[in-house]
């Protein structure tokens, strides 16, 4: 009977986290993010504040995160209410789903199950 040591999952995760393939995949995701953002830019603030961060995880595991540093990033991604000009009330401005939509453009089993705008 085979035995799997308890440390193996974390060891494998650490190896993957330190691999050049993780960096390359993060760069690929960033490319898709920037392409989607380019279609919606008004000022260039959003696209100029995109970055890839190294994120330390538990037990020495390292991950990558695409980070949108624009102060309006949440509203741009998910949508927001905007006051109507010259009229009472507000209008819903749909989100652009720039980050989430970029993931659906990648090859892999997860992309077909995720639905973003």
Assigned domain for 112 exists: no
Assigned domain for 56 exists: yes
Does the pLDDT of residue 84 top 80, yes or no? yes
Count up the domains in the chain and report the number: 1
Report the range of poorest mean pLDDT among 19-23, 37-41, 61-65: 37-41
Q: How many CB atoms lie within 10 A of CB 30?
A: 16
Does the pLDDT of residue 114 top 60, yes or no? no
pLDDT value, residue 30 = 93
Secondary structure (3-state) at 76? helix
- Burial of residue 33 (number of CB atoms within 10 Å: 0-12, 13-18, 19+): buried
Q: In whole angstroms, what is the distance from residue 74 CA to residue 97 CA?
A: 10
Assigned domain for 41 exists: yes
Assigned domain for 46 exists: yes
CB-based contact 47:96 (threshold 8 Å): no
Domain that holds residue 99: 8-104
pLDDT value, residue 7 = 65
pTM of the full structure: 0.74
Assigned domain for 114 exists: no
Tens digits of per-residue pLDDT, 48-66? Answer: 999 999 988 888 888 889 9
């Amino acid at each position: 009977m085979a035995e799997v040591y308890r440390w193996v999952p974390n060891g494998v995760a650490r190896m993957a986290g330190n691999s050049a393939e993780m960096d390359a995949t993060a760069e690929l995701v960033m490319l898709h993010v920037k392409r989607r953002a380019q279609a919606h830019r008004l000022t260039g603030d959003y696209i100029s504040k995109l970055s890839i961060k190294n994120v330390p995880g538990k037990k020495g595991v390292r991950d990558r995160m695409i980070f949108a540093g624009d102060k309006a990033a949440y509203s741009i991604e998910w949508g927001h209410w905007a006051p109507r000009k010259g009229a009472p009330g507000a209008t819903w401005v749909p989100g652009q789903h720039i980050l989430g939509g970029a993931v659906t453009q990648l090859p892999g089993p997860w992309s077909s199950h995720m639905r973003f705008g």
